């Protein structure tokens, strides 16, 4: 695996490749010829038009099969913009580009310098060189948004003087034409998901129980509903409950595959209730499920049921989550640092200062563990914490690392580390002066945490 720097390039393996940018971003792609121009509306791949010959977008993942691209296509530019269109990229974590081959092996990773006021970022390009293809890291930002980006790629953009409120309805198809494509509203490219309907009254039952506990209401989310249905079906086909289905996919991986990036998540996997009312009643009778249902941190929910296994068995999946918003990663990292420094203060030690290089390495490693579904201080390529710190630009002489998975809050993860002698020793090591924190949702465990220490 290669860490790319802006302008760096790398040959790609033959066959298809997978490009992923996890986090609170919308991913798009522009397919161009040698002249750098799109050939029509079909060359723009985004959530409202998620596929083109040889390119398919699903959530935060773009799959590219170069031999199947349209005739004359020689370049694919990968673009990211905030999932919340009103948020500058500078208020979000730096997007991390992960390129894997068709077998799931990580080929390249690129984390650009953090943008400032830009609203769109050209992250990388895949381009033909001779008989093969390469990837080049870009990191070029646009302050005037998708409109400026589109114009540079030969797209005529007509913007309304007073844009209509953004909606998630599909844009009307644009007629093929020999001249550049016209796109009437670029605000439509990144807008919130509409809530799902509540035909069974599940939401009313849940929010009544949450109101009684002083928790804010949740809304139903279509992405969570899709993941819940898939997981309930997987459990029904196996005839058993489990966080991981018989296909080897965890419920958390189904959530991220559906395009939902979360900062905290919970689940109820149950067999037995016959109706949503019985399901909610079951949750409220038991201490652990009751705490999850009433947890004030959650903002979205979904419920699905599938009958399978023994005749008459019904398998339920309820999901609870809060989406990752621009401030969540720095806020969560700050909470971990604060709790860590409180433990050091109790031991009479100096506080640790946040270090950007350690933070970048820690965040990249948490993301890597979630994306590639492994959990170890040694990466699949054999890199160790000090290797990753050095690659991120750290010059610290002493490096230490704590990792954890499955915890759902900063308090929970720091408590776990402090109750483990080895992790506690790192937190309370006198020689350490700096720290970086990483957090990512997804993977088999649901959450992945990294503390990277330096001194």
- pLDDT per residue as tens digits for the range 217-251: 999 998 999 999 999 999 988 888 888 888 888 99
- pLDDT tens-digit profile of 312-328? 688 999 999 999 887 88
pLDDT for residue 178: 29
CA distance 316 to 270: 5
pLDDT at position 310, please? 60
Confidence of residue 85 (pLDDT cuts 50, 70, 90): low
What is the C-alpha separation between 266 and 298, in angstroms, rounded? 8
What integer best gives the mean pLDDT of the chain? 82
Reading the block at residue 83, the tokens are: 């999932």
The mean pLDDT value for 155-168 works out to: 38
Query: Is 167's pLDDT higher than 60?
Result: no
**Of the candidate ranges 170-174, 198-202, 414-418, the one whose mean pLDDT is the lowest:** 170-174
* 1 band by pLDDT with thresholds 50, 70 and 90: low
Strand partners, 271: 315
Mean pLDDT value of segment 66-79: 90
| Per-residue model confidence (pLDDT) at position 435 | 97
What is the pLDDT, as a whole number, of residue 105?
A: 85
pLDDT for 385 equals 94
Q: Is the pLDDT of residue 192 over 50?
A: no
Dihedral sign computed on CA atoms, order 165, 166, 169, 173: positive
Residue 403 confidence (pLDDT) = 94
How far is it, in rounded angstroms, from Cα 85 to Cα 340?
A: 34
Residue 53: CB atoms within 10 Å: 14
Q: Which residue has better confidence, 246 or 299? A: 299
pLDDT value for 415 = 92
Q: Is a pLDDT exceeding 80 seen at residue 189?
A: no
> Which of 78-92, 124-138, 382-396 has the highest mean predicted lDDT (pLDDT)?
382-396
Section 91-105 average pLDDT: 84
- 0.75 surpassed by pTM: no
Write the CB contacts of 47 (distance below 8 Å, at least 6 apart in sequence): 26, 57, 189, 190
Residue 153 has pLDDT above 80, yes or no: no
Smallest CA-to-CA distance from 16 within 75, 66, 50 is with 66
Task: Give residue 359's pLDDT.
Answer: 93
pLDDT bucket at 173, cuts 50 / 70 / 90: very low
Q: Which tokens in the block code for residue 447? A: 């959450």
Q: Say if residue 353's pLDDT is above 90.
A: yes
CA distance 312 to 320: 26
Mean pLDDT for the stretch of residues 336-351: 97
What is the length of the chain?
Answer: 455
Q: Regarding predicted confidence, which is higher, 368 or 247?
A: 368
pLDDT at 154: 60
Output the pLDDT for position 193.
44
pLDDT at 129 over 90: no
Of the candidates 155, 149, 21, the one whose C-alpha atom is nearest the C-alpha of residue 95 is 21
- For the segment 46-73, the average pLDDT, to the nearest whole number, is 87
Q: Which one, of 195, 144, 150, 145, lies nearest residue 168 by Cα?
A: 195
């Amino acid at each position: 695996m290669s860490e790319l720097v802006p302008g760096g390039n790398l040959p790609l393996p033959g066959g298809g490749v997978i490009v992923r940018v996890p986090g609170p971003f919308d991913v798009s792609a522009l397919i161009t010829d040698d002249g750098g121009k799109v050939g029509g509306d079909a060359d723009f791949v985004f959530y409202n038009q998620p596929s083109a010959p040889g390119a398919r977008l699903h959530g935060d993942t773009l799959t590219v099969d170069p031999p199947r691209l349209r005739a004359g296509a020689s370049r694919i530019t990968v673009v990211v913009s905030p999932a919340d269109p009103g948020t500058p990229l500078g208020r979000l974590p730096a997007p991390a580009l992960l390129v894997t081959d068709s077998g799931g092996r990580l080929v390249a990773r690129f984390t650009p310098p953090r943008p400032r006021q830009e609203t769109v970022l050209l992250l990388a390009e895949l381009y033909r060189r001779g008989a093969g293809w390469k990837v080049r890291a870009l990191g070029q930002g646009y302050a005037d948004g998708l409109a400026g980006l589109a114009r540079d790629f030969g797209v005529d953009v007509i913007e309304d003087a007073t844009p209509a409120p953004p909606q998630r309805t599909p844009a009307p198809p644009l007629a093929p034409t020999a001249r550049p494509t016209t796109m009437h509203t670029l605000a439509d490219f990144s807008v919130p998901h509409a809530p799902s309907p509540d035909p069974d009254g599940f939401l009313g039952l849940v929010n009544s129980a949450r109101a009684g506990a002083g928790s804010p209401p949740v809304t139903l989310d279509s992405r969570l509903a899709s993941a819940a249905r898939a997981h309930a079906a997987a459990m029904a086909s196996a005839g058993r409950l489990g966080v991981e289905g018989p296909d080897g996919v965890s419920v958390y991986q189904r959530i991220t595959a559906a395009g939902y990036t979360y900062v905290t998540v919970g689940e109820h996997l149950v067999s037995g209730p016959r109706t949503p009312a019985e399901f909610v009643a079951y949750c409220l009778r038991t201490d652990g499920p009751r705490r999850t249902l009433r947890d004030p941190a959650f903002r979205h929910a979904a419920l699905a049921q599938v009958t399978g296994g023994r005749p008459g068995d019904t398998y339920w999946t309820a999901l609870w989550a809060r989406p990752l918003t621009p401030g969540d990663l720095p806020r969560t990292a700050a909470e971990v640092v604060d709790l860590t420094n409180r433990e050091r203060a109790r031991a009479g030690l100096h506080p640790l200062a946040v270090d950007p290089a350690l933070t970048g390495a820690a965040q990249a490693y948490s993301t890597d563990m979630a994306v590639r579904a492994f959990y170890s201080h040694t990466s699949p390529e054999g890199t160790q914490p000090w290797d990753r710190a050095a690659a991120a630009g750290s010059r610290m002489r002493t490096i230490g690392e704590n990792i954890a998975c499955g915890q759902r809050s900063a308090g929970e993860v720091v408590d776990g580390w402090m109750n483990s002698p080895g992790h506690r020793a790192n937190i309370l090591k006198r020689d350490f002066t700096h720290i970086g924190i990483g957090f990512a949702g997804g993977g088999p465990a649901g959450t992945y945490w990294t503390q990277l220490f330096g001194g």
